[in-house]
A and B are shown apart, each in its own frame.
Chain A
Amino acid sequence: MKLNLKIWRQPGPAAAGAMQSYVANDVSEHMSFLEMLDVVNEELQTKGEEPIAFDHDCREGICGTCSLMINGTPHGPKRATTTCQLHMRSFSDGDTITIEPWRAKAFPVLRDLIVDRSPFDRIIASGGFISAPTGSAQDANAILVPKPDSDLAMDAAACIGCGACVAACPNSSAMLFTSAKVAHLGLLPQGQPERDQRVLSMVHQMDLEEFGGCTLFAECEDACPKEISVENIARLNRDLIRATVRDRGQVHVESGAG
């Protein structure tokens, strides 16, 4: 099939960008979306034009590197699917496809469709962990974890940190991402000692990164390739209120370095 592509091109972080039109010929329905772009790039290069830069690595929906706003939805039209696992049979001959980078102040464009998602790392660095220095652990079966809790924790832990939630959210809120980690660790017995501290620090860092707040649009949940539920946002809210009431944690001031 033949497709008309409108793609955001931007040579560098400080440069101005613009949408540009391309035509993709001979697209097979079996191609993945990224393979379609590979083919377009191959052609651009033979014409002496620089290829379109886009982020990708595993190409099997788990590393969270790929991104792309495709026709106004993150990771394209198919639910619970990353761009690398989206196949061209989701489109038809003659379609016009708009491809843009994630848009958020916290995610500045580095080049074309590539953005900087390092705020997510800093949110984790501020408290998204359990302090368990190597070698200090007791036997793994010493603390039993009820299966339902462990399953819920796993649901939340499945987040791949792709940033589609931020891209989809009309407020550019990072609440789904942040809450997934707060919920994952907060649901496990091992995560209890730092629970108050964790949520205070992570929300603090999230706000410092200048993401928006949450109005419960739930666009994030719909866009999330791992189907992380907005229930986790309620868990985060609950933990934050609880931490405020109990007043046992404090925001790490040095957090967020690097």
Chain B
Amino acid sequence: MNRLFALWGTTVGKKVAMAATGIVMILFLISHMISNVLIFRNPEHLDSYAALLRSLGPALWVARAGLLACVLIHIAAAWQLTMLARRARPITYAHHEYRVATYASRTMRWGGVLLFVFIVFHILHFTTGTLLPGWQDGRVGDNVKLGFQSVPVAIFYLVAMLFLGLHFSHGIWSAFQTLGLNHPSYNRSRRLLAWGLALAVAGGLATIPAAALLGYFK
């Protein structure tokens, strides 16, 4: 335990924590994406999937707590590193040019904040129904259709998925590096994996609000 705290005490350790929690979240989102696109086959599928999850009982709560912990650790590390980086350059350049940093890498922080806002909204929206008048417990498929009837909400989801994709593409690329895996011989596969997963997960999820906007669920 002491060793883990010592690791967390370093900038590198915080990144390791981010990479580890990020990977857990990625795994969640892969399954989340797969289960969500079931809606295209039949909204009932979604309901039965949700019911299955619910039948897990306490296990579900453990999983939820784990996920919550990951988000919190991830955010805590992101926050601390951001503050460190800010303090590390109190006077900025009059003229500074980025030469190779990708858009994805440069939007990790604000994109992350957006993702956080999205997650809070999203849970109040679909999981608790607080922000979705007409929300019905257990009728997940209908809730989704209902929720995306609002154009601004659907657009917000799409924007969030765009940033999710960006966050992912750099996050996965970077998580390998953080965990010490960078070697010219497999860097190409690493790039492909990062982009592929980003596209699959964010793209897959985005099909739902996009379909709604295009009137698919009418």
A contacts B directly (C-beta below 8 A): yes
Known: A231-B183, A241-B16. A216 touches B177 (CB 8 A): yes
A172 contacts B99, CB within 8 Å? no
In B41-82, which residues have CB < 8 Å from any A CB? 81
A103 contacts B183, CB within 8 Å? no
- Contacts of B81 on A, CB cut-off 8 Å? 171, 212-213, 215
Most chain B beta-carbon contacts within 10 A, residue among A206, A210, A234, A245: A234
- Contacts of A210 on B, CB cut-off 8 Å? 84, 87-88
B10 contacts A203, CB within 8 Å? yes
B93 contacts A213, CB within 8 Å? no
In B167-216, which residues have CB < 8 Å from any A CB? 170, 173-174, 176-184
The verdict on A191 contacting chain B, using a C-beta distance below 8 Å, is no
The verdict on B15 contacting chain A, using a C-beta distance below 8 Å, is yes
A240 contacts B7, CB within 8 Å? yes
* Residues in chain B within 8 A of chain A (CB atoms): 3-4, 6-7, 9-16, 81, 84-85, 87-101, 105-106, 108, 170, 173-174, 176-184
- Contacts of B94 on A, CB cut-off 8 Å? 6, 8, 19, 98, 100
A213 contacts B99, CB within 8 Å? no
A218–B7 Cα distance when bound, in Å, is 23
A207 contacts B98, CB within 8 Å? no
A235–B92 Cα distance when bound, in Å, is 30
A103 contacts B7, CB within 8 Å? no
The verdict on A110 contacting chain B, using a C-beta distance below 8 Å, is no
- Contacts of A106 on B, CB cut-off 8 Å? 88
* Least CB separation from A204: chain B residue: B10
The verdict on A247 contacting chain B, using a C-beta distance below 8 Å, is yes
A222–B101 Cα distance when bound, in Å, is 9
Known: A71-B95, A105-B87. A216 touches B174 (CB 8 A): yes
The verdict on A244 contacting chain B, using a C-beta distance below 8 Å, is yes
* Residues in chain A within 8 A of chain B (CB atoms): 6, 8, 19, 69, 71-73, 98, 100, 103-106, 168, 170-173, 175, 203-204, 206-207, 210-219, 221-223, 230-231, 233-242, 244-245, 247, 251
* Least CB separation from B99: chain A residue: A222
Q: Interface majority SS on A: helix, strand, loop or mixed? A: mixed
Known: A173-B88, A218-B101, A219-B99. A69 touches B93 (CB 8 A): yes
A230–B3 Cα distance when bound, in Å, is 26
The 7 tightest CB contacts between A and B, nearest first, are A238-B180, A234-B182, A213-B11, A72-B97, A172-B88, A212-B85, A171-B85
A215–B93 Cα distance when bound, in Å, is 19
Q: Which of B16, B88, B170, B177 contacts A212 (CB 8 A)?
A: B88
A238–B4 Cα distance when bound, in Å, is 15
A244–B20 Cα distance when bound, in Å, is 15
A235 contacts B180, CB within 8 Å? yes
B99 contacts A244, CB within 8 Å? no
B12 contacts A215, CB within 8 Å? no
* Least CB separation from B105: chain A residue: A217
Known: A213-B14, A217-B106. A71 touches B97 (CB 8 A): yes
- Contacts of A233 on B, CB cut-off 8 Å? 177, 182
What is the minimal beta-carbon distance from A42 to any residue of chain B, in angstroms? 25
Q: Which of A72, A215, A234, A236 contacts B95 (CB 8 A)?
A: A72
What is the minimal beta-carbon distance from B108 to any residue of chain A, in angstroms? 6
A87–B174 Cα distance when bound, in Å, is 36
A247 contacts B3, CB within 8 Å? yes
A210–B89 Cα distance when bound, in Å, is 10
B100 contacts A103, CB within 8 Å? no
A105 contacts B93, CB within 8 Å? no
**15 pairs, CB–CB < 8 Å, chain A vs chain B:** A170-B85, A171-B85, A210-B88, A212-B84, A213-B14, A214-B11, A214-B15, A216-B178, A222-B99, A235-B180, A236-B12, A238-B181, A239-B180, A240-B7, A240-B13
A175–B92 Cα distance when bound, in Å, is 19
B3 contacts A234, CB within 8 Å? no
* Supplied contacts A213-B85, A230-B182, 4 more A-B pairs, CB within 8 Å: A103-B92, A210-B88, A217-B100, A241-B7
- Contacts of B87 on A, CB cut-off 8 Å? 105, 210, 212
Most chain A beta-carbon contacts within 10 A, residue among B11, B87, B88, B105: B88
A221 contacts B100, CB within 8 Å? yes
